[in-house]
Structure 1
Amino acid sequence: MAAKSTDYGSERKVKRREVLERKKAIEGIIRAASSLKDHLSYFPQLRHYHKNGLYIHLESGRGNKLSRHAKRYVQDLLKLNMEAPYGPEWPTEEKIKRREMVSQEARYIFVHEISNKDFNEVSEFMGKSRTCNCRGPTIGFVHYRFIMEEEVPVVYVYELQLEPRVQGKGLGKILMQLVELIACENKMGAVVLTVQRTNSLAMNFYLSKLRYSISAISPSKVDPLGVRKSYEILCKTFDHEARVTLEAAHDPG
């Protein structure tokens, strides 16, 4: 009995060490991804975008480095787009979002609209590591972070917000595909995000157009018979381990 007890204790120590080593490795991956100042540097050819009459320049940003103008823009666009979907929950949610947006962990891609002339002038920079100095009015942004979700390194998209006049032109799809590229480049297992159930356009956009899934960690999956939450957690996974953890019901085994 003593020998069996000793063996069991040794196995527990080995498993505990493996868990700690895995956690340390994931934290290292997240730290490395977060330390890069400009994730668009991986994809210089994607800094500029032209489709459906939109001429776009993309720029990286950090929550704790936002200018006063950028902070005001993010606040105003969030209120414009999200006050209705959140309904009576918005005043409380707005306070939370204002704290989140300036966090040191927050990473941004800002969308600037530029003229046809400016776009043609900067086309020489496409596919090169050099960046242009073109700037135009901001028309949207993505706020994302590198975090650990259920012991899986993921990119969590906190916000994808576009001004109403540029919605429906394919820009949202381009931005999410770029986030997915950033996730894969930085060895993340998935892209995860939260959507209000009442926001039917957003739910359709992610589930139907981008092929995201309702995650196994979403409230409706964790406790189907419980109190219905106002949101769903969606995900798109890139490896087997992430699928098993975040898409359990969808994993083919």
Structure 2
Amino acid sequence: MYAGISVTLESSRGSLLSSYMKEYIQNLLKINMEGPYGIEWHEEEKVKGREMVEENALYIFVRLNQQGNDQEVGTIISKEKNIQTLWKGTGAPVVAFVQYRFVMEEELPVLYVYEIQLEDTIQGKGLGKFLMQLLELIARKNNMMAVVLTVKKRNEGAMRFYLNKLSYKISSTSPSKVDPLVLIWLQSPSLSIS
């Protein structure tokens, strides 16, 4: 149970995604990211579509636990309200996902968060913070030197989330150091590069 909503986490890999999961990811990305990317979204959507199915793309999916046998897929009753979801597949509705990879950045092993996307109806309940803390734990267990991610500067909600709620810092290797209008690389303070 998390913030009055019962959820289950499941993991997968990009090469194993079902067609329902691919469609879900694409739909949620479009809803959440088309605004911050603006006119660049059309090209970025193609890039994200290729990235999502790569073998080294690792996922955590958040599913709402079904409460009762008569619930339709896509609607769940929580203590607070009905939650409508984008999920069109079978099983309990998916309401969020994280895509991450283990990569080398500046010759150091890091956990790179490619995506963390939550449906609007479950945002602001602490689930995003929980998922980021889970990623930090995964990074520690795999001897990564940092958790890093990229945020569009004009994505003000995401900037507030990472900088204020999670106390992430702008990395010294961020592209924003060269061109302040582009991207910002953020780094977890609890896993800092020494």
Where does structure 1 differ by over 6 angstroms across 4 or more consecutive aligned residues? none
CA drift at 1:236: 1.3
Instruction: Report percent identity of matched pairs.
Output: 54
1:236 to 2:184 alignment: no
Read off the aligned partner of 1:213 and give its amino acid letter: K
User: 1:190-209 maps to which residues of 2 (within 5 A)?
Assistant: 190-209=146-165
CA drift at 1:237: 5.0
Question: Equivalent residue for 1:86?
Answer: 37
Q: For residue 59 of structure 1, give the secondary structure of its aligned residue in structure 2.
A: strand
CA contact (8 A) 2:136 2:191 kept: no
Q: Distance in 2 between matches of 1:220 and 1:60?
A: 32
Q: For residue 233 of structure 1, give the secondary structure of its aligned residue in structure 2.
A: strand
1:86-123 CA-to-partner distances (Å, cap 9, x unmatched) read 001100100000000001110000000013569xxxxx
CA contact (8 A) 1:144 1:155 kept: yes
1:172 to 2:128 alignment: yes
CA drift at 1:51: 2.4
Larger helix proportion of the pair:
1
Taking only aligned residues, the RMSD between alpha carbons, in angstroms, comes to 1.6
Q: For residue 111 of structure 1, give the secondary structure of its aligned residue in structure 2.
A: strand
2:64 to 113, 117, 128: 113
| Structure 1 unaligned regions, length at least 5 | 1-49, 119-134, 244-253
1:210-230 CA-to-partner distances (Å, cap 9, x unmatched) read 110000111222x2xxx4333
Question: Equivalent residue for 2:81?
Answer: none
**1:211–1:237 distance in 2 versus 1, CA, 3 Å:** closer
1:143 to 88, 96, 99: 99
1:33-61 CA-to-partner distances (Å, cap 9, x unmatched) read xxxxxxxxxxxxxxxxx122211000001
User: 1:1-253 maps to which residues of 2 (within 5 A)?
Assistant: 50-116=1-67, 135-221=91-177, 223=178, 227-236=179-188, 242-243=193-194
| Structure 2 unaligned regions, length at least 5 | 70-90
Read off the aligned partner of 1:179 and give its amino acid letter: L
Larger strand proportion of the pair:
2
**1:228–1:111 distance in 2 versus 1, CA, 3 Å:** same
Read off the aligned partner of 1:204 and give its amino acid letter: R
For normalisation by structure 2, the TM-score amounts to: 0.85
CA drift at 1:166: 0.5
CA contact (8 A) 1:189 1:237 kept: no
CA contact (8 A) 1:219 1:229 kept: no
For normalisation by structure 1, the TM-score amounts to: 0.65
CA contact (8 A) 1:113 1:137 kept: yes
Read off the aligned partner of 2:105 and give its amino acid letter: E
Q: Distance in 2 between matches of 1:228 and 1:192?
A: 18
Q: For residue 195 of structure 1, give the secondary structure of its aligned residue in structure 2.
A: strand
Read off the aligned partner of 1:52 and give its amino acid letter: A
Higher gyration radius (CA):
1
**1:136–1:83 distance in 2 versus 1, CA, 3 Å:** same
Q: Distance in 1 between matches of 2:131 and 2:153?
A: 22
